Amino acid sequence: MFTVRGVTNEGREAEVSWYEPGLRAISPAVERGLAGDRELMARALTDEALGYRFSRYTRGPTFVANLDEAKAAVVQLSSYFAPGYRVDGSPPAIDTSVPGGALP
């Protein structure tokens, strides 16, 4: 589980939490693994349904919106926040290393 909190790209304070698939039944407020700000939850569900792609860094990696996968979810949810947001809990590490021989 992790929580992303801060100022959204629209300029309001918000937070949204993500729960692993095995923990999603802990509360009726959890919808597809999300709890918190209803507007951000609706946006995340829509983006997942439309198959949007998100990247934490300009050079990748890129993830298809997938609320069942922790790495994809943390990149997607954090993209809704302005710089300076916080991620608390147990977010997954995102590997940004470049394989040998890759073009920069």
pLDDT at site 97: 62
pLDDT of residue 28: 66
Token pair, residue 102, equals: 């890759």
State how far the Cα of 101 lies from the Cα of 55, in Å rounded to an integer. 22
pTM of the model: 0.86
Distance CA 78, CA 85 (A): 8
pLDDT score recorded for residue 12? 97
H/E segment holding residue 70 = helix 70-78
Q: Beta 34-36 vs 13-18: how paired, if at all?
A: antiparallel
Which of the residues in the chain have pLDDT under 70? 28, 96-104
